[in-house]
Structure 1
Amino acid sequence: MTLPKACIFDLDGVIVDTVPAHFVAWKAMADELNIPFTEIDNEQLKGVSRTESMRRILEMGGMTKSASEIEELTTRKNHIYVDIISKMTPNDILPGVVEFLDLLKDNDIAIALGSSSKNAPVILKAVGLSDRFEVAVDGNHISHSKPHPEVFLLGADQLGLSPADCVVFEDAISGVQAAKRGNFKCIGVGESDILHEADLVIPDMKAIDLSIFNQL
């Protein structure tokens, strides 16, 4: 069995499920602007930066705002979101994740985080995973959001590895595209019809083991 030297994980939707928190926060902003906003709309914002997400919501309502107004809206959205995620616990870690991280560690496979979220440190602390990642690259460290590969390339670089040595786990289309653009192997976590650009797609992290790498 050929194993990677490292695995780089997205956070939202792979390690923890923050989609409901994002939905509550974005819907609060949309409601304020009288823009209809559904959970399906929220799905389209997965892996998208905060500012771009706000722009897309405004487009849904046929509205435009200045850069300063958008910043004010996204700041308030983030306050709502942070209030929710700061109350997360280890019970919010998605099924199978801890067991798989343990398996990787036991087999000397490095573990890194590659998330566009600037709130990644808050989430990791809340769920008790801060010390599980040898390298953690998040939205505070990058200039380009996914689908730009910067977050994964920086993670590999900090591990002292090449993209060919790493496997990325992603649940968003933009994240899969970022991984592929960076020449990483990518395992999509979610729906195969949505994440078809990944090298392999699994429904979730439940009961997976090292044999998964043989399928890449």
Structure 2
Amino acid sequence: MKEVEGCIFDLDNVLVDSKNSTILPGVKRFLINLRVSGMKLAVASKKSNADVLNVLNIKDFFDVVLDSEDKTANSTPILLKTASELGLAPENCVIFDNSTDILDQAKRLNMSSIGVGVNIPCNSADKTIPNLSNVNSSILNFS
């Protein structure tokens, strides 16, 4: 069984409603739950994150924030860089994303993956959930 020590989140439609830049239901509670359990947290996204995270008052939850300012933002290296900046091996991280391309990249890197959204094919991620509203840290148990 893999030991998950860090979570890497996409921003749009995983943590934040991309249409109106509001935090999605259950996100803050889930982040608090993860922090209390000692989990390292990161955001890795194609969009600039810092301003949105500051406005929503959730930036302090994250140990690492990588975005489009980083030249690796559109490819596998952003996942590797994020894991590295968390001080973790890729296999000790889980990615929460709604992009099948990113979820496939996570698989190739031996990262656990959780597809967030209603249109995620089951074979794209280790687990799929519609959103973070009713999730707790037990979702990180992978066998």
**TM-score with structure 1 setting the length:** 0.61
Percent of aligned positions with the same letter in both sequences? Answer: 34
Q: Tell me the distance in 2 between the aligned counterparts of 1:10 and 1:95.
A: 15
- CA-atom RMSD, angstroms? 2.0
Give 5+ residue unaligned stretches, structure 1.
22-87
SS of residue paired to 1:196: helix
Whose strand proportion is higher, 1 or 2?
2
Instruction: State whether structure 2 residue 90 is matched by structure 1 residue 163.
Output: yes
Unmatched 5+ residue regions in structure 2? none
The answer to whether structure 1 residue 208 and structure 2 residue 138 are counterparts is no
Q: Is the radius of gyration larger for structure 1 or structure 2? A: 1
- The answer on whether the counterparts of 1:7 and 1:110 sit within 8 Å (CA) in structure 2 is yes
How far, CA to CA, are the matches of 2:132 and 2:73 in structure 1?
A: 28
- Alignment deviations for residues 144-198 of structure 1 (CA, whole Å, 9 cap, x no partner): 51xx211111011011110111111001122212222322110000125536311
How many residue pairs match? The answer is 143
SS at match of 2:124: coil
Give the Cα–Cα distance (whole angstroms) in 2 for the partners of residues 207 and 193 of structure 1.
18
2:4 alignment counterpart: 4
Instruction: Give the alignment partner of residue 102 of structure 1, picking from 29, 32, 50.
Output: 32
- Contact conserved, 1:173 with 1:195, CA < 8 A, in 2? no
> In structure 1, how many angstroms separate the alpha carbons of the residues matched to 2:36 and 2:2?
16
Letter of the 1:168 counterpart: I
Q: Which residue does 2:79 correspond to in 1?
A: 152
Q: Does 1:190 align with 2:117?
A: yes
Which residue type is aligned with residue 30 of structure 2? F
Q: Which residue of 1 aligns with 2:60?
A: 131
Q: Does the 8 A contact of 2:27 with 2:133 survive in 1?
A: yes
Paired letter, 1:10: D
